[in-house]
Amino acid sequence: MDRFIIRGGQQLFGEVRVSGAKNAALPILAATLMVPGKVRIENLPHLNDVTTMLQLLGRMGVDVLLDDTGSVELDATRLSSVVAPYDLVRTMRASIVVLGPLLARAHEAEVSLPGGCAIGARPVNLHIDALERLGVEFEVTDGYIKGRAPDGLIGGKVIFEKVTVTGTENILMASVLARGESIIENAACEPEVSDLANCLVAFGAKIDGIGTDTLRIEGVPELSGGVHRVIPDRIEAGTFLVAVAATRGSCTLTHCEPRHMGAILLKLQEAGALVECGEDFVRLDMEGRRPRAVNISTAEYPGFATDMQAQFVALNAIAEGNGRITETIFENRMMHIPEIQRMGALIDLQGATAYLTGIEVLQGAPVMSTDLRASASLVLAGLVADGETIVDRVYHIDRGYERIEEKLRRLGANIERVRM
């Protein structure tokens, strides 16, 4: 098992290239199950979750050909299995997004109940209830979701009682090959959902309302091959910007999409960062200043992303003044706070709200990752701590960040990966 050893206190300066978005890549890869032909997906991040998804597709009979440019060619012409087994699904909650494509293409699916980060309830009933409106019959038994639609899927109207990203993606993919028109209301508006929709359109789908909370889909008999490039990862980009701001440094992010990062950039400006945006870059400069504490409440896009909450906890821990951070999306997403408190942070956790009083510097300590974004926050805390910080269980961070330690070293961080 790997760990990071971080010796903090270094200001970060330089340039970082942002990788493709994991949360866009996974459903897009799942969508290729619906295409009886060759497709090419570009700008894939090199991550454990992406590798797992490709293994899952291969297990189902998809031909997978990776190249060294971050692209993959897939051919699902000879789909041979509709089972997503536990041994692959257990580490990746996003694997639930193969449910919709399998039902659309093969009219049946068996998907193991997913695993992944333990950050709170993300119920699959929203997916099941919505797919039932498209004519799917379900049973949940032996740890598997088993769905059948012997006569194929039929277009229908789905109104989500609460916004769900993966639920929207699953129903969107299923609707593409359903007979007639489907309408999805209270759909998630995240850029990753729009990227999936644009990918499906490139493959021949008919979708209106992309980027809004109402999607209209006119079913087509079949999709065809094509090429799609995955959008940049706004969460990776935000994480590096917070790391640089916390260390009072400056950096330029390249190959990013500033339009997807509005709430993050606004809070960084409130923290005292000078921010300049171009078509595909962001420059941030703290001019050596200590950041100011900010108040945050997570929300669905275009609000402040829950996936950036933990990183701003680390920022507020060493910021000037008092800050408040409230988590509204997942009820169990404050598990990083006891670990950061071990490093001296002054945090009063009351329910889903953390009240922070910033201190000048944290103290290095052994800490343990509990989930993907918590891992990132502990790395950031180590960067601004006095002495040595050891972050254990970094397999969590490898699920969502491509070679994070290498990118941080290029900015001047003293961080190394050690295999135990």
Catalytic residues: 117
**Residue 400 carries which side chain, given as an amino acid letter?**
G
Q: How far apart are CA 385 and CA 401, in angstroms?
A: 21
Q: How far apart are CA 334 and CA 322, in angstroms?
A: 18
Q: Which residue has the tokens 């992406």?
A: 50
User: Contact at 8 Å (CB) between 320 and 349?
Assistant: no
Q: Burial, 238: exposed, middle or buried (Cβ in 10 Å; 0-12, 13-18, 19+)?
A: buried
User: Contact at 8 Å (CB) between 254 and 281?
Assistant: yes
User: Contact at 8 Å (CB) between 104 and 84?
Assistant: no
Q: How far apart are CA 126 and CA 160, in angstroms?
A: 7
What torsion, rounded to 10 degrees, do the Cα atoms 232, 238, 240, 246 define?
A: 170
Kindly state the tokens that stand for 399.
């699920």
367 secondary structure, DSSP code: E
179 secondary structure, DSSP code: B
CB atoms within 10 A of CB 221: 7
DSSP 407-420: HHHHTT--EEEEE-
Q: Which of 340, 144, 341, 307 is nearest to 234 (CA)?
A: 307
Angle formed by the axes of helices 165-176 and 191-202, to 10°?
A: 10
Kindly state the tokens that stand for 175.
């609707």
Spell out a b/e string for 172-208, using b for 16 or more CB atoms within 10 Å of the CB, else e: bbbbbbbeeebbbebbbbbbbbbbbbbbbbbbbbebe
**Residue 23 carries which side chain, given as an amino acid letter?**
N
Rg of the chain on CA atoms, in Å: 21
Tell whether the torsion through CA atoms of 65, 66, 67 and 71 is positive or negative.
positive
Q: How far apart are CA 409 and CA 215, in angstroms?
A: 43
With H, G, I as helix, E, B as strand and everything else as coil, classify residue 100.
helix
